Amino acid sequence: MALAKKKVAVQLPRRAHSEVVAQRYALELEALAPVADIVEVAGSSAVEFAAGAKDADAIITSWGIHIDRTVIDQLDRCVVIGVGSVGVDMVDIEAATEAGIVVTNVPDVFIEEVADHAVMLLLAAGRRSRIMQRMVSEGDWFKGRSLLNDVPRLMGQTLGLFAFGNVARCTARRAAAFGLRVIAHDPYVSELTISEAGVEPVSFPELLERSDYLSIHAPLNAETHHAFDAAAFAQMQPSAVIINTARGPIIKEQDLISALAEGRIAAAGLDVLEREPIAPDNPLLGMDQVVLTPHVASATTRMRPETRRRVGREVALVLQGRWPLSCVNPTVLPRAPLERWQPYPMNRGPNR
């Protein structure tokens, strides 16, 4: 007799279309179909979602309701939470680990795309593309050159990387092509590993002091939350440009606004913000030295399909009793009845 399929809960999409679940989640089901069915759970709060997912064997998430302790404590059968992004700040990792739930992510699906976007923001903010566009639109054709006469050429400048994970390493390779010196701070990566990539390992204060361009690539957690505040900006060069394609709350936004307004740093390129979407009255919108994009650094034609397939594969592996390819909380694995099978080292998620 065939074994009953397991249940994978996902939050009901904000813009659900009329197709059946099997069509909507066809990419995830490429791996999941033999072992599980996907069930959409409606709920506008953590309590409502927890009630709908109570008997789920797995959860897939990447947006919407935070899978916090309130939700996790109500899960009777869940063994894995699959996150469709690199960052996992939408899941309470500590609570999941205590409950023996494996948390997986997709740490290497769209790293090249995010690195491309980080470099785009670096160039756009550094060359003041926003004000240049406005000058062209307003007929001030001859004013741009005098402004850029104060901007150093890119070659020979120093790019600082806050964290040295997958995206930062891709960004470092791109930076080398522009003739940038690259330094990095990451207490979770050995100095030897950083040096082998042609990057100089430095302390956090040195990163702030030396960077002409500073690009953030860290996960959001208690350690990195508001790492860039007024005290950090005070240590940076007045000509510095800060780039963020990681998570918005790593920067204390009001302190950034003040630093830009007062000329304590020169410019910013931001794909992520402390509160998203951005409020219409946010001062960043009116700053010519700021380039903004709407949290789209990973977006390309291949990103969503590959991410969805990878999440489905990770969750399917765990439901079949095997280790996932990537685990954010690997300390839970020895306690889980899962087979270790990988032919290569596991990717252990962001700074864990």
Establish whether domains 6-109+301-335 and 111-292 are of one fold: yes
Architecture of domain 6-109+301-335 in CATH?
3-Layer(aba) Sandwich (3.40)
Q: Average pLDDT over the chain, rounded to whole?
A: 94
The catalytic residues are 247, 276, 295
For β-strands 213-216 and 241-244, DSSP reports them as: parallel
Residue 38 has pLDDT above 90, yes or no: yes
Residues 110, 116: Cα–Cα separation, whole Å: 10
Cβ contacts of residue 94 below 8 Å, gap of 6+? Answer: none
Is 262 in contact with 290 (CB distance < 8 Å)?
Answer: no
Q: pLDDT exceeding 70 applies to what percent of the chain?
A: 94
Residue 15 has pLDDT above 60, yes or no: no
Residue 138 has pLDDT above 80, yes or no: yes
Domains in the chain: boundaries: 6-109+301-335, 111-292
Q: Which of 143-152, 251-260, 291-300 has the lowest mean pLDDT?
A: 143-152
Is 311 in contact with 109 (CB distance < 8 Å)?
Answer: no
Q: pLDDT exceeding 90 applies to what percent of the chain?
A: 87
In this predicted structure, what is the pLDDT of residue 345? Answer: 65
Residue 21's pLDDT band (cuts 50, 70, 90): confident
111-292 is a CATH 3.40.50.80 domain: no
Coil vs helix vs strand at 93: helix
Residue 351's pLDDT band (cuts 50, 70, 90): very low
In this predicted structure, what is the pLDDT of residue 62? Answer: 85
Residues 310, 28: Cα–Cα separation, whole Å: 8
Residue 187 has pLDDT above 50, yes or no: yes
Q: Which of 126-135, 321-330, 343-352 has the lowest mean pLDDT?
A: 343-352
Q: How many residues does the chain have?
A: 352
